[in-house]
Amino acid sequence: MIKTYKLEKNSWFKRLYNLRKKWCTALSKDFFSAGILSSQRSESTNNAVGFKATKNTNFTDFFKIFNQTIKRWRKNESDADFKCSNSHPYSHLPFYGILKHAAEVYTQTIFRDFETEFTYSIGCITLLHLEVQGYFFYEVQIENNEASKQKVTYNSADNSVACSCKNFEEVGWLCYHAIRVLQQHSVTRIPNQYISTRWTKFAKTHLWKQRDETAEANARVPVKYIPWRQIMARKGYNLILTCQEYSETRK
């Protein structure tokens, strides 16, 4: 684009090109983003409060709307947590192998995304190019769909798999190319290194456990004293502000 329209001296285009790793999808696949686009943050915010708020909404009313929105989000999250803990996801596919394991560990929302990848994997064909000391190099694609072709490397020693589409690195669950290769090698469970804790049913449990362990490790400052320290620190600061103008009181 720069060459075609002779924009080599345009400072804005030069700056944009230097920042290409931040906006170019092809260059950002190695970084986790949960699949969220940069524009979605503002779009989702507008969608959340836009149904009641307008440009004429004052700050007080906006705060009430925002508070109601937060309460709704928390209720939806609690309902989803309860559903995950007390029910199993349904599927039109038989619950065997990797799909069964995904239903056991993932939240129901993430399971739907994984199930989609699993469904695509059923229609994939694989071509083995090379095998060297336990490493297998494949090309995987959906049948009659050349655009879906990706390179997949599999290590039989630890069941590690890497795909050129970088889906796991970007969103946190395996792509259909990788799933197809794992099935090819009779792997019936998702390898532990490809289960992101944040997408599992146990994410919150893990967080609270980590917090408790941190509190126990810090024996010098027991958790029960923290609220008292915060109150006394605030009172001490107010006392300092009150006496700062009087030299005798400062002494």
> How confident is the model over 213-236, as pLDDT tens digits?
776 666 555 666 778 888 888 899
Are residue 234 and residue 176 in the same domain, yes or no? no
Q: Kindly report, residue by residue over 150-180, the tens digit of the pLDDT.
A: 999 999 999 999 999 999 998 999 999 999 9
Same structural domain, 184 and 231: no
Contact 83, 75 (CB under 8 A): no
Residues in the chain: 251
Same domain, 182 and 132: yes
Whole-prediction pTM:
0.71
Number of domains comprising the chain: 2
Lowest-confidence pick of 10-14, 64-68, 69-73, 211-215: 211-215
Is 227 within a domain? yes
Range of the domain at 189: 97-199
Identify whether 160 is part of a domain.
Answer: yes
What is the C-alpha separation between 36 and 73, in angstroms, rounded? 18
In this structure, the answer to whether residues 186 and 230 fall within a common structural domain is no
pLDDT at 188: 93
Structural domain contains residue 62: no
Q: Are residues 137 and 167 in the same domain?
A: yes
Percent of the chain surpassing pLDDT 90: 45
Residue 218: the pLDDT is 65
Are residues 128 and 222 located together in one domain of the fold?
no
Residue 133 counted as domain residue:
yes
Q: Which amino acid is at 162?
A: A
Cα–Cα distance measured from residue 11 to residue 16, given in angstroms and rounded to the nearest whole number: 9
- 102 and 192 together in one domain: yes
Q: Are residues 174 and 225 in the same domain?
A: no
Instruction: Report d(CA 74, CA 80) in Å as an integer.
Output: 10
Residue 150 domain-assigned? yes
Question: Are 141 and 191 part of one and the same domain?
Answer: yes
Q: Say if 241 falls within a structural domain.
A: yes
85-133 tens-digit pLDDT = 888 888 889 989 999 999 999 999 999 999 999 999 999 999 999 999 9
pLDDT of 212 strictly over 90: no
Residue 75 lies in a domain: no
